[in-house]
């Protein structure tokens, strides 16, 4: 049975927390959140949990407590609490009060995180003891904070404790009468593809995300989810899914213990899993090697970085025939906007990706509008159909729809570069390049900032790199440009599967140059460099820092 989610509404009043209250009425005694709290004397995992009724009631209680200490409608509140029961109750309590959670990804690095927090000018801070110690060590980023709440032991700082707030006698908390376009949260981009920016999510944006996710992925009322990325876990209560919190460090999915993920799936009968490509690869490799099957899983959603067909193929060995791996495409500012699933990838688009077509990221979700526009590095103030390129031509991916955020937090420069006004609507420029095929599918060709502009034309990273990645000794490759556009020299950098071995010799270089010469995409590339280990993003271990490699290459070929 599919859950009865609120239909698309033209009403201006909206509070995203109402989805939880609705589910608490529909299924009060169903488990909402399940958290691994340890192991018993026989080594079995023990769990603590909240039903939908309990989650709704606890968040009511905490909302009263937050309101009593001044965290109310519009209060920008840093939330630094790891995945836990408290993470859920606090987030929904903040939504109910109309406060604005400020969320940063710890995986982005300390200095970048401090910069983001300072830019958001937070007025309240809720965190575990370690988070408050971090706050005390870096006071300049938190000068605007007036209210502090500690989840756990309060060491040597002032403020309130979550325990104190829980003493509030329970009664229903009427959700703040927030508006559809009113800010609900500030979510910072990771900064792995450019400067980190705070995307302002409205209550309407979140509501649209919930509807599109439920509709596109056909989420039913008996689903059990294993969300390995904390923010996506918050969709579960609104969708009526049981969230099983995994025993892992969410900032390092590439280092996850695959046995613990598999154990959770089997113990709880998980039907849906959200996983980064790095986690998918680690669990898939272990599972395939040991012949493990996960029959309860009917859907795996992998996003955050490009997912290779080989990764999808590997994990598919763990699934039953009816299950699929879905690879939705989007960004912090707008997600999900496109999607494709494993059967189509493995039977059709995979071989085209290997030929240099790009990575197929699928078709638009529901009624979202996605267009490919002319490539430019300058702002586009107003939308015009004249900027749309013909099918099959590479351009920048742009999207318009109800889940698309309209602006960044107090960052007009970023707004002017990423947003295009279209009457009352807003298009978001993804900063990614791609093209549309005759089946309405979009093919991702790399970041706009990574394109290489040479005297003989423009080269795009993903299509060119695919030609070299076909070589069995190549782990990954990176196309970079040395010099200034439009007179850059294209250089391909190779990381081999056996770093430091004799594979770095002239034989491999000659084989790669022969590959390059056979493709019209890479025939003008005549410089190949070898690098021991590419710099990649911390979280996904997949997004290559090409800017660093370009600087390295420039020094090498001087």
Total Cβ atoms within 10 A of residue 60: 25
Q: pLDDT (tens digit, 9 = 90+) per residue, 93-134? A: 999 999 999 999 887 889 999 999 999 999 999 999 999 999
Residue 194 domain-assigned (yes or no): no
Domain boundary, last residue among 140, 159, 178: 178
Query: What pLDDT, on the 0 to 100 scale, is given for residue 361?
Result: 98
| Average pLDDT, integer, range 343-351 | 98
- Two structure tokens written together for 422: 């279209």
- Two structure tokens written together for 209: 């995300």
Domain boundary, last residue among 178, 206, 234: 178
Kindly list the strands in the beta sheet with 100-103, ordered across the sheet, starting from the edge strand earlier in the chain: 160-161, 147-151, 124-128, 76-80, 100-103, 183-188, 198-202
Residue 476 domain-assigned (yes or no): yes
- The band of 558, judged by pLDDT with boundaries at 50, 70 and 90, is confident
pTM (predicted TM-score): 0.94
Query: What pLDDT, on the 0 to 100 scale, is given for residue 168?
Result: 78
pLDDT greater than 90 at residue 526: yes
pLDDT greater than 60 at residue 7: no
pLDDT greater than 80 at residue 500: no
pLDDT above 90 covers a percentage of the chain that reads: 87
- The band of 252, judged by pLDDT with boundaries at 50, 70 and 90, is confident
Query: What pLDDT, on the 0 to 100 scale, is given for residue 10?
Result: 54
Query: What pLDDT, on the 0 to 100 scale, is given for residue 502?
Result: 47
pLDDT greater than 60 at residue 4: no
Query: What pLDDT, on the 0 to 100 scale, is given for residue 190?
Result: 79
- The band of 1, judged by pLDDT with boundaries at 50, 70 and 90, is very low
| Average pLDDT, integer, range 490-507 | 78
Q: Provide CB contacts within 8 A for 368, sequence distance 6+.
A: 212, 337, 399, 400, 401, 403, 404
Q: Provide CB contacts within 8 A for 103, sequence distance 6+.
A: 79, 185, 186, 187, 188, 231
Domain boundary, last residue among 178, 206, 238: 178
- What is the pLDDT of the chain when averaged over all its residues? 94
| Average pLDDT, integer, range 260-281 | 96
Asked if 281 and 261 count as a contact pair (C-beta separation under 8 A), the reply is no
548 by DSSP, 3-state: which?
helix
Q: Is 39 left (phi over 0), alpha (psi -120 to 50) or beta?
A: beta
- CA gap 415, 428 in Å, rounded: 9
Query: What pLDDT, on the 0 to 100 scale, is given for residue 223?
Result: 97
511 by DSSP, 3-state: which?
helix
Residue 492 domain-assigned (yes or no): yes
Q: pLDDT (tens digit, 9 = 90+) per residue, 32-44? A: 999 999 999 999 9
Task: Provide the terminal-to-terminal Cα distance of the chain, rounded to the nearest Å.
Answer: 65
3-state secondary structure 132-195: HHHHHHCHHHHCCCCEEEEECCCCCCCCEEHHHHHCCCCCCCCCCCCECCCEEEEEECCCCCCC
Residue 225 domain-assigned (yes or no): no
- CA gap 379, 421 in Å, rounded: 11
Min mean pLDDT across 55-64, 275-284, 495-504 is at 495-504
pLDDT greater than 60 at residue 280: yes
pLDDT greater than 50 at residue 487: yes
| Average pLDDT, integer, range 350-358 | 98
- The band of 543, judged by pLDDT with boundaries at 50, 70 and 90, is confident
Asked if 274 and 225 count as a contact pair (C-beta separation under 8 A), the reply is yes
Q: pLDDT (tens digit, 9 = 90+) per residue, 376-393? A: 999 999 999 999 999 999
Measured CA to CA in angstroms, residue 135 lies from 9, 118, 130, 514 at distances of: 40, 11, 9, 55
- CA gap 327, 216 in Å, rounded: 12
Q: pLDDT (tens digit, 9 = 90+) per residue, 303-341? A: 988 899 999 999 999 999 999 999 999 999 999 999 999
Q: pLDDT (tens digit, 9 = 90+) per residue, 384-427? A: 999 999 999 999 999 999 999 999 999 999 999 999 999 999 99
Query: What pLDDT, on the 0 to 100 scale, is given for residue 401?
Result: 98
| Average pLDDT, integer, range 201-211 | 98
Which alpha helices (H) appear in 359-435, and where do they start and end?
412-418
Query: What pLDDT, on the 0 to 100 scale, is given for residue 120?
Result: 97
Q: pLDDT (tens digit, 9 = 90+) per residue, 136-148? A: 999 999 999 999 9
Candidates 102, 94, 98; CA nearest to 119 is 102
30 by DSSP, 3-state: which?
coil
Query: What pLDDT, on the 0 to 100 scale, is given for residue 45?
Result: 95
Asked if 435 and 443 count as a contact pair (C-beta separation under 8 A), the reply is yes
Q: Structural domain of residue 102, as residue ranges?
A: 47-178
| Average pLDDT, integer, range 242-248 | 97
Residue 70 domain-assigned (yes or no): yes
pLDDT greater than 60 at residue 494: yes
Min mean pLDDT across 115-124, 183-192, 240-249, 473-482 is at 183-192
- The band of 26, judged by pLDDT with boundaries at 50, 70 and 90, is very high
Query: What pLDDT, on the 0 to 100 scale, is given for residue 240?
Result: 97
Residue 111 domain-assigned (yes or no): yes
Q: Where are the beta strands (DSSP E) in 191-342?
A: 198-202, 224-227, 242-244, 272-275, 299-302, 324-326, 329-331, 334-339
| Average pLDDT, integer, range 209-238 | 95
pLDDT greater than 50 at residue 50: yes
Task: Kindly give the pairing relationship between strand 359-364 and strand 457-459.
Answer: unpaired
pLDDT greater than 90 at residue 221: no
| Average pLDDT, integer, range 449-453 | 98
CATH of residue 551's domain is 3.30.300.30
Count of structural domains within the chain: 2
Asked if 268 and 261 count as a contact pair (C-beta separation under 8 A), the reply is no
């Amino acid at each position: 049975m599919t859950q009865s989610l609120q239909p698309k509404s033209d009403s201006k009043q909206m509070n995203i927390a109402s989805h939880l209250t609705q589910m608490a009425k529909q299924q009060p005694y169903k488990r909402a959140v399940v958290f691994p709290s340890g192991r018993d004397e026989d080594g079995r995992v023990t769990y603590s949990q909240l039903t939908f009724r309990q989650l709704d009631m606890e968040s009511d209680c905490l909302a009263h407590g937050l309101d009593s200490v001044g965290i109310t409608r519009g209060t920008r509140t840093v939330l630094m609490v790891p995945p836990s029961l408290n993470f859920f109750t606090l987030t929904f309590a903040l939504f109910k009060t109309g406060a604005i959670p400020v969320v940063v990804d710890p995986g982005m690095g300390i200095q970048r995180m401090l910069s983001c927090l300072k830019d958001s000018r937070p007025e309240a801070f809720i965190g575990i003891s370690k988070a408050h110690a971090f706050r005390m060590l870096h006071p300049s980023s938190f000068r605007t904070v007036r209210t502090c709440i500690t989840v756990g032991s309060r060491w040597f700082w002032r403020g309130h404790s979550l325990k104190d707030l829980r003493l509030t006698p329970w009664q229903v908390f009427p959700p703040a009468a927030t508006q559809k376009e009113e800010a609900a949260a500030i979510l910072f981009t990771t900064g792995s593809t450019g400067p980190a920016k705070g995307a302002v999510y409205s209550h309407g944006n979140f509501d649209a995300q919930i509807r599109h996710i439920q509709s596109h992925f056909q989420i039913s009322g008996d689903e059990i989810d294993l969300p390995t990325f904390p923010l996506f876990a918050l969709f579960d209560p609104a969708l009526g899914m049981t969230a099983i919190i995994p025993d892992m460090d969410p900032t390092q999915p590439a280092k996850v213990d695959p046995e613990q993920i598999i154990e959770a799936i089997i113990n709880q009968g998980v039907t849906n899993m959200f996983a980064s490509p790095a986690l998918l690869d680690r669990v898939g490799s272990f599972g395939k090697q040991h012949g493990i099957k996960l029959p309860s899983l009917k859907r795996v959603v992998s996003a955050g970085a490009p997912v290779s067909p080989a990764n999808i193929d590997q994990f598919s060995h763990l699934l039953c025939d009816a299950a699929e791996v879905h690879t939705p495409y989007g960004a912090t500012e707008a997600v999900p906007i496109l999607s494709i699933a494993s059967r189509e990838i493995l039977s059709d688009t995979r071989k085209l990706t290997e030929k240099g077509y790009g990575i197929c990221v699928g078709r638009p979700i529901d009624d979202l509008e996605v267009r490919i526009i002319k490539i430019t590095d300058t702002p586009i103030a107003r939308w015009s159909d004249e900027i749309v390129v013909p099918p099959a031509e590479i351009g920048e991916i742009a999207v318009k729809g109800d889940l698309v955020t309209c602006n960044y937090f107090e960052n007009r420069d970023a707004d002017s570069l990423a947003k295009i006004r279209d009457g009352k609507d807003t298009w978001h420029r993804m900063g990614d390049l791609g093209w549309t095929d005759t089946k309405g599918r979009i093919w991702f060709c790399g970041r706009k900032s990574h394109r290489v502009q040479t005297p003989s034309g423009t080269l795009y990273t993903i299509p060119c790199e695919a030609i070299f990645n076909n070589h069995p000794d190549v782990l990954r490759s990176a196309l970079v440009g040395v010099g200034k556009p439009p007179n850059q020299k294209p250089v391909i950098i190779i990381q081999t599967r056996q770093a430091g071995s004799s594979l770095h010799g002239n034989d491999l270089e000659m084989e790669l140059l022969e590959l390059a010469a056979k493709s019209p995409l890479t025939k003008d590339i005549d410089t190949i460099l070898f690098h021991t280990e590419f710099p990649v993003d911390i979280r996904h271990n997949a997004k290559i820092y090409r800017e660093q490699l370009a600087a390295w290459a420039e020094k090498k070929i001087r």
